[in-house]
Structure 1
Amino acid sequence: MRKLGCLGLLIGLAIIAGLFWVSRDWSGAGPAAKPLTVVVPDGASLGRAASVLEAQGAIRSATRFRGYARVFGSGRPIKAGEYAIPAGASAADILTLLEDGKVRQRLVPVPEGYPSVLVHAALMRAEGLTGTIEVPREGSVLPDSYAYQLGDTRAAVVARMQKAMTDYLAAAWKKRKPGIAVTTPAQAIVLASIVEKETGKPSERRTVAAVYTNRLKRGMPLQADPTVIYPITKGKPLGRRILRSELQAKNGYNTYASPGLPIGPIANPGRASIDAVLDPAQSSALYFVADGTGGHVFADTLDQHNANVSKWYAIRRQRGEM
């Protein structure tokens, strides 16, 4: 009897040890010493996914992973895609990732005021996108960060960017204030692109929009430097002072040489600049110039503006810029 009791105790201890080992093998830290990126192909079975995970070093054994998944898993199908596997992720955590479809999200950032040539460049260098595209139409892309997955096409991402702009502009146009200077959504994008390039200070956008609204209503030329630069660089920084000949050039964009709006947008404006054009500040200002702090000072009359310009030149001389 004593021998049978000892044997039973040994069997019980062996079972406990086995269960402990299985628990550690399934729920304990996995073998990945560093974060891994694993791609589960479209249509892959659990067995195929397990083989990929073992080959990448995310799990110790594909065979044991399949067995554990049948016993401990939820039974939900796994989803294809690119997965970011954290260092030391357990087999249980990895199965949950695959069942939940928590694929790695890649992003293409489009900052406010980005010209379309730079949007195109960002898309073409985005790792994991496929296919080629033309430069999107200027002003057609809504600045934002756009998520994509490995293997998505650049054309599909551009289509989402453009749909976002179309949808936002349509909703914003419905809420426009009466008495604004633009009469169509297309004109709103053109003016918003100028506002976007003229100030990076959010608190100024509606006042800058008011200046250009007042000028358009009076038939005054907008005299916006960014519209002079656009035909030269397609929206990229000029990197030097504007030449007198460039201020006099008539090319459809130069708002010094021609009154009214330019023939098209000069950038992709963000939501705040679109909103500013459709609801400008209540202001009679017709002029503005830099104030030396990253913002601008506004003026109602040319005399006031000239005085502000003189102050700006004095600041620049102190800085050794003139």
Structure 2
Amino acid sequence: MMKRGFIPLLLVALILGGGLFWDYQRFLDAPITTHTEQTFRVPQGASLRAVGDRLAERGFIDRPLYWEILGRRSGQARSLRAGEYRIEPGMTPRQLLALFVSGRTLQYRLVIPEGWTFRQMMDAIAAHPHLKSTLEPEDYAGVMDRLGRPGEHPEGWFFPDTYLFPDGTTDLEFLRRAHRHMETELEAAWEEREEDLPLETPYEALILASIVQKEAGQGEHDRVAAVFIERLRRGMRLQSDPTIIYGMERFDGDIRRQDLRRDTPYNTYTREGLPPTPIALPGAASLQAVTHPADSDALFFVGRGDGTHHFSKTYREHREAVIRFQLDGDASRYGP
């Protein structure tokens, strides 16, 4: 026979249990306490309990024990993925857990423009507040060693693009991604190249693409590439001003006659063929241009001053274009 005092105790236990269950259910579906969008970091290797305590410290939840119960009952206690997350008003603890398990971390952006040099890219990477610096400027020369390409020059080997990444991404991780992207783009362009190009290797295509990148106006990449391709076929020097600039220790905005005559490995006025390395980071249009140049026998081009170029087949026509577009019609300034 059930003792008389046991029944009230059982009722109390049922009431308390029911109250706790109701409170737990309320916790699961109640909006977290924030009225503005905020960020929250799940540390690497953090336990479910540690994350719950941090959420409580930030004021997002008021029952860290319930949070731990939620994670364990759902079987996701060990599934939290480290990173920085965007927490929005109205989210519930259930949605928070799903977010932390999904790995949809907050992404940051860095734009690497076409035509930048390797040094410009490294300066931008070092200055980005959400990229973790592991390389010092004196380490830049050894970047290719770290990427498994020992002895190679880093210029040109990183694809210019808009990159998204989570906070804490290292500079080396960023570089590895941009390098793989360039390898993929270059390999695809080289595999689909036209026949009989005066280019022996994909690296030569990369070098020429970097020159085209620095020379071409909007929509002119294939025509500029055609000029350089034709010059290479005929054994003519490329005579590209950007290559001279790249080989100068300092550039003040003007190329003088002595600069044209000063011999450096990058002076394509004094040396035949391609320079020893790329001079910039070429984009997809430049890679496609050097592997699919326009059908043209032009050998010269000169800027019109509006971002486009005038293309010429003969030196005489080119001289007239230089006088017209660069020297304001004053033929006496052209020189001998």
Bin for the TM-score computed over the shorter chain: 0.7 to 0.9
1:1-322 → structure 2 map (5 Å cutoff):
25-69=27-71, 75=76, 77-126=79-128, 127-132=130-135, 134-135=139-140, 136=143, 137-201=154-218, 203-232=219-248, 238-313=251-326
What percentage of aligned pairs have identical amino acids?
A: 34
Equivalent residues, number: 296
The answer to whether the 8 Å contact 2:38/2:87 transfers is: yes
- Which letter maps to 2:95? D
Cα distance, 1:263 vs. partner?
Answer: 1.7
Cα displacement string for residues 266-286 of structure 1 (whole angstroms, at most 9, x for unaligned residues)? 011112211111111100111
- Which letter maps to 2:248? I
Give the distance between the partners of 1:269 and 1:94, measured in 2 at CA: 42
| TM-aligned CA distance change 1:302 to 1:58, over 3 Å | farther
TM-score scaled by structure 1? 0.81
Give the distance between the partners of 2:92 and 2:323, measured in 1 at CA: 67
- Which letter maps to 1:131? T
- Which letter maps to 2:175? V
TM-score scaled by structure 2? 0.78
Gaps of 5+ in 1: 1-14, 318-322
The answer to whether the 8 Å contact 1:32/1:59 transfers is: no
Cα distance, 1:194 vs. partner?
Answer: 0.2
Task: Give the match's secondary structure for 2:104.
Answer: coil
Give the distance between the partners of 2:92 and 2:320, measured in 1 at CA: 69
Cα distance, 1:207 vs. partner?
Answer: 0.6
The answer to whether the 8 Å contact 2:108/2:164 transfers is: yes
Cα distance, 1:79 vs. partner?
Answer: 1.6
- Which letter maps to 2:132? L
The answer to whether the 8 Å contact 2:108/2:165 transfers is: yes
Give the distance between the partners of 2:290 and 2:163, measured in 1 at CA: 25
Give the distance between the partners of 2:329 and 2:90, measured in 1 at CA: 56
RMSD: 2.8
- Which letter maps to 1:208? V
